[in-house]
Structures are given as C-alpha cells and as structure tokens.
Structure 1
C-alpha cells in the first residue's frame, strides 16, 4: 500500500491489523489508502487500527476516505479505530466531527488494548 505523498505500512497483532500512515492524506494519496483498507476487509481483517502519528496533513479527500474506510469496515461488523493524531490533524477532526464516527486513542497500545 502506498503513494508518493503517503507511506503505508501494515502489521498484525492477533486479530487486529495496524495500518501506519506516514505523510499527507490528501487527494493524491487517499484512493490508495482506501484500496488498502478494502483489501484488508477482503482478507477478512475487520478489526483495524489506523496509526496516524505520521500524518502531518489531511484535506477534504482524506476526510472522505476515512469515512469511506469506516463504512467499509462497519458494514462487515468490524471496527476501525484511530490513534496518535497530530495536533494539526486533530483540529480537522474537530471541525469535521470525524471524532463522532471514530474511537480515537492517544497511542497504538491503547487502541490495541481496547480490542481485547
């Protein structure tokens, strides 16, 4: 998974997939991020943590992709949780009310523990 403006890495911890994003979540990278989430769903990986500690920027396309990712996982009865949001991205989450859709954790360990 990845795009020139976004590096995406995936790891698994038991039945939880951890997707770490690094870069800009914008129109150029958003579709590849959604494709990666949908690929996890196809592989029956429905418990997903998005580690956004490396995301320094998000635009409206990024917001839309996060919502589409949420819907794709939720439709299969799974959960998409977000952790480690940087302050500048956190303000976008507040403005767009994304925090009403997602469970947001301060760090990856807290998000993983919540799946237990």
Structure 2
C-alpha cells in the first residue's frame, strides 16, 4: 500500500493514499498505516484520496473509524482530492454530510485556520 505523510500549515498532517481501491483486500493495511501516522500529537489530519477510484463498505468503515478516533481526541479529519466516482459514492451514502470534503489540499489545510 502506498501511503505518504507530511506536515503542513496549521499543525495539520497530510496523509496521501495512492491506491486505486480502498476495500476489504487492503483495509487492514490501511488501518495499520493510519495507526502509525495518526499519533496523539496529530489532531488535524487531511486525507488526500487523489487516485482512489473505488471504496467499498470496509474502506468506508476505516474512514469512519479514523474520524471517530480523531473526534475522540477533539481533533478533525478533512478529505480532499476525491475522484468524481468516490465523491458520488459518498454523496449516495450521505457520507458527504459526515465528512468535511475539500477540492484540494490547500483548501483542506486552510480550513484548520
């Protein structure tokens, strides 16, 4: 699984997922990577999903688990760079009301200001 992270303005951690699918086949690896990256010091996280073309219920569950983990620490999660397919899926599942979604990294990071 290809995941990278970098610090950004406003004490934000940007995590980029570069997989075509976030599904049952790789969700465990995704959760383990997030556990390593989203430390207690990282309370503001931007998840860049550029290139993710498909998310199944297991992948959606992993995103919700990350959101809950951050909410429990009074943190925040922002999603950005969603492909039209993933954006349509989140809208269909009404998850666009649960997640804060931004068109690009800059907007997502600036939202923490």
TM norm. shorter chain > 0.5? yes
Which of 16, 19, 40 does residue 15 from structure 2 map onto?
Answer: 19
Question: How far apart in 2 are the matches of 1:32 and 1:69?
Answer: 14
Give the gaps of 5 or more residues in structure 1: none
The runs of 5 or more residues in structure 2 that have no matched partner are: none
Q: Distance in 2 between matches of 1:46 and 1:36?
A: 16
More strand by share: 1
- Alignment root-mean-square deviation, CA: 1.3
> How far has the Cα of 1:64 moved from its partner?
0.7
CA distance in 2, matches of 1:71, 1:35: 16
Residues matched between the structures, number = 111
Give the TM-score taking structure 1 as reference length.
0.88
Q: Which has the higher contact order (CA 8 A, sep 6+)?
A: 2
For 1:17 and 1:36, how far apart are their aligned partners in 2? 14
How high is the TM-score relative to the length of structure 2? 0.90
Q: Distance in 1 between matches of 2:94 and 2:16?
A: 22
